[in-house]
Structure 1
Amino acid sequence: MTTQQRADILATICADYTAFLGEFSADDLIDWVTLELQHDEALDAFVPYGDIRSKAVPLSPVVHVVSGNTPHAALQSILRGLLLGAENIVKLPSSGLPEVEEFAGKLPAELQPLLTLSPRLDQATLSKAKAVVAIGSDEAIAAIHSRLSAHQRFIPHGHKLSIGLIEQPSTDAATKAARDIGLFNQQGCLSLHTVYVKESPQEFARMLATAMQRFEEDNPRGPISVSESGAISNLRETYRYHAAVEPENYLLLESKQGTAWTIIFENNAHLVPSPLNRTVYVRPWPVDLSELGSETQYLSTIALEPLDELLEEVEPLSPPRICSLGEGQQPPLIWHHDGFPPLSSLVSWRDIH
């Protein structure tokens, strides 16, 4: 099967998964291959490469170890492997992943041999992998890495978090931030954990509360576990006390019903992960970026409003991705996930000269 034939099939199937993968056509997939591999037929034949000829060979099989709370990341990873024509073995979480299982069921007979789903990952399967893509906690990824040889390509996607930075409060900025916080309930590396505001962060926190309530009404969060709900409730009580003692430095804003959303204004810049499920901090932006703390080493995305005016502010943090506020959860098809080129990372090359 040629790259074009795979692209045609995948574009049709993925049209049912735009919430996870975005919208794209078969031509977009071919353009992506061309962008990363320098030729639209690089996977099908030897093509000109400077003054020699080269062919891209997919690393196969690729083992994808995916997490249960990020079906969008799993589907993105699988799409990349299938587009390249590699055999893909997906280690599902013990609870399963309905979106991935449904996707696999829609593959036509020509592509079905390229995708295998399994709740287990034995050493024999892992040892035969030419590449391993791992999505999960740093501890889980380290455990997988320890089982690999030096000759296997390893692409880890571990603990990451994202932040926003806003020049000044506005209703529009609050609406965009609510989207970047609320989509997927912060169950992924692109979710905002903190929104920094250069001017009047407390004022923005109140605007964000209104926007989060509207987002909740249009996109209900859904049920969460007792432990997840308990973590949010405990955090709320801690900051309720702080806000009562130091109202100039703390503000707690919360949904009236349950733990649907929570906003905490804290008058210091130190970045900490939130307990997720639409819980976010609003903080002032520091003059000295060291005040952000060590968590910045895990930054995935910084969403800016406005983008061009704030680029120089965040460039010293060297995040893998910077985007406009409101687009944090929907990266383009060709983005470099955690800095990795997603297609060219999964091929090797053969040369003729």
Structure 2
Amino acid sequence: MTAQAAVDARWISWMPRWVRSADLARFEVASRSSAGEARRCARPVAEGWRALGQGLRRAQLSLRDMPIADIIAAIDAVAERWMDRSFEPRRRARAEVVIATGFSPEAVDRSFDVELRNYRADSLVRALRRELNRPDVLDRFQPDADLHGSTLATGPRVTLAILTGNVPGLPALSIVRSLLVKSAVIAKVASGEPTFAARFVQTLAEVEPRFGDAIAVTYWERDDEASLRSALAEADAVIAYGSDDACAAIRAHVAPHQRYVEHGHKVSVAVIARDYLLDLGPGEVARRVAVDVSTFNQHACIAPQAVLVEGDAISVRAFAAELATAMDDDARACPLGALEEAEAASLQLRRLAYTWRAASRPGCDLWCPAGLDWAVVLSTDLTGLTGSGNRVVHVVPVLDMDSVMDALRPVARHLQNVGLGANGPQFWAAAETLARLGACRVSEPGRMAEPSMMWRHDGMQCIAQLIRWCDVEMHRESERAGGRRGGA
């Protein structure tokens, strides 16, 4: 409800301290997990959205006046706290996320670690430098030698962030990106995991009260177009995560004047060249791929759904067996967790289909434990990829690297992250071809689940896309200022 109410673990919303109680409706959100209890939430009443937007725009003036160095330092201090696994708010958040998602505590902790370390100061500074050239361009006009003038970057007054719930900790990314461009935030949490955002914002507010006054976290149902339109009416920019259909529904309501950054459905794969496999050995490559698959329980778009391995049927089958062993080892250290009944039934049906295919089609096979912690499916092609996650990975033999590109062409439109196991000239040739095919990130196997803040997420400059620039050129004052500052 209010900023202080977020201390109550049942609250999934955060409202700045200046919000009037009369402008809020209070309601309960049923848990999607059979183990969870109903959550409490506050959301502006129909006529209260305008007041929320006006208040956030006033609060944004305080963010605008903060030096970007101070904003970075405050976010860094929050990240430092949350990186400590003994930090009590993190411990509480982990317990809530376990209930909401069914992830094991170990899987949630692994996910938190991967996400939160990106918000340390060095990472944030490098991300801003890569996209804006110099962070202080957000503070005041700075000389631009190519322009022979000066330039200033201005972020949105208010950003609407439609958050995802399939990756623990990921909701922080949209909030952090918004704060980095000095924007206030309306954050809409996901029904699948609605608890983390309010906990994280509470710590942001404790470290820097101006953050707490400039962020509202709330929830509405996917088909509640009235709330979506009301929130959009107060926003200058929108960041949206979701399926292609969900993103399309949001996009349909975005006005031409609003910046829109969308992260829809994506497919990621690992590609293992024959020489790379010989160089590192099947066991080590399998261990690395198992980490990539298992982190985030394979729910993140950056997790590989398939591994394309260069080699003959016998050698690729041997690698699939090694991967099964590695998946089992990883699951012992970091279990999948508990699936909801419907999700478990769906996974069982998929396994039955893979079992039937293994029995009826040459070149197909299946490795899986008695439980549902993982499955390795040996296939002859990429048919049957569902993107449903839960550590089900397909292994597909390919004759050569050209065959890899042919196999990936049908999913090129959604291709995102490739763990490319290759060496020397073969690596660079394959990386360039993958880039032109549609991939926006290439990393080594074992590092697929560790994207940095510097990565251009989905091939976009996600921070820069929120920015509006003002250039001063062809003016003697800018030329004088550039000379005084050592610029143009």
Category of TM-score, reference length = shorter chain: over 0.9
Structure 1 match to 2:246: 140
1:339 aligns with 2:459: yes
Q: State the identity %.
A: 26
Instruction: Work out the number of aligned pairs and report it.
Output: 351
Alpha-carbon distance in structure 2 between the residues aligned to 1:328 and 1:72 = 17
TM-score by length of 2: 0.68
Q: 1:312 to 1:244 in 2, by over 3 A?
A: same
Alpha-carbon distance in structure 1 between the residues aligned to 2:376 and 2:193 = 32
Alpha-carbon distance in structure 1 between the residues aligned to 2:210 and 2:397 = 54
Alignment of 1:166-315 (within 5 A): 166-168=272-274, 169=277, 170-199=282-311, 200-246=315-361, 248-256=362-370, 258-270=371-383, 272-285=385-398, 287-288=402-403, 289-292=405-408, 294-306=410-422, 308=424, 309-315=426-432
Alpha-carbon distance in structure 2 between the residues aligned to 1:124 and 1:97 = 20
Range with greater deviation from structure 2 (264-273 or 152-161): 264-273
In the TM superposition, residue 30 of structure 1 has moved relative to its aligned partner by 2.4
In the TM superposition, residue 182 of structure 1 has moved relative to its aligned partner by 0.3
Alpha-carbon distance in structure 2 between the residues aligned to 1:70 and 1:236 = 24
CA contact (8 A) 2:416 2:438 kept: no
Alignment of 1:35-184 (within 5 A): 35-50=130-145, 51-107=148-204, 108-120=208-220, 121-168=227-274, 169=277, 170-184=282-296
Structure 2 match to 1:9: 74
In the TM superposition, residue 132 of structure 1 has moved relative to its aligned partner by 0.6
Q: 1:230 to 1:64 in 2, by over 3 A?
A: same
TM-score by length of 1: 0.93
Q: 1:274 to 1:350 in 2, by over 3 A?
A: closer
The runs of 5 or more residues in structure 1 that have no matched partner are: none
Alpha-carbon distance in structure 1 between the residues aligned to 2:114 and 2:123 = 17
In the TM superposition, residue 61 of structure 1 has moved relative to its aligned partner by 0.7
Alpha-carbon distance in structure 2 between the residues aligned to 1:196 and 1:111 = 45
CA contact (8 A) 2:164 2:171 kept: yes
Q: 1:126 to 1:296 in 2, by over 3 A?
A: same
Cα offsets for 1:121-158 (capped at 9, x unmatched) = 43122023111111001111111111111111111100
Alpha-carbon distance in structure 2 between the residues aligned to 1:138 and 1:253 = 31
Query: Which SS does the other structure have where 1:122 is aligned?
Result: helix
The runs of 5 or more residues in structure 2 that have no matched partner are: 1-65, 84-112, 221-226, 474-488
Amino acid at match of 1:313: A
CA contact (8 A) 1:272 1:295 kept: no
Cα offsets for 1:172-217 (capped at 9, x unmatched) = 1101100110011111110110011002221111000010011100
In the TM superposition, residue 96 of structure 1 has moved relative to its aligned partner by 4.7
Cα offsets for 1:225-281 (capped at 9, x unmatched) = 2222122211211221222233x411110023x211011001235472343100110
Question: After TM superposition, which residue ranges in structure 1, 4 or more long, deviate above 6 angstroms?
Answer: none
Structure with bigger helix share is: 2
Q: 1:326 to 1:203 in 2, by over 3 A?
A: same
CA contact (8 A) 1:7 1:30 kept: yes
Alpha-carbon distance in structure 2 between the residues aligned to 1:35 and 1:245 = 52
Query: Which SS does the other structure have where 1:280 is aligned?
Result: strand
Q: 1:96 to 1:262 in 2, by over 3 A?
A: closer
Query: Which SS does the other structure have where 2:136 is aligned?
Result: coil
Amino acid at match of 1:295: V
RMSD, aligned α-carbons = 1.9
Structure 2 match to 1:28: 123
Q: 1:245 to 1:28 in 2, by over 3 A?
A: closer
Larger radius of gyration: 2
Alpha-carbon distance in structure 1 between the residues aligned to 2:317 and 2:407 = 19
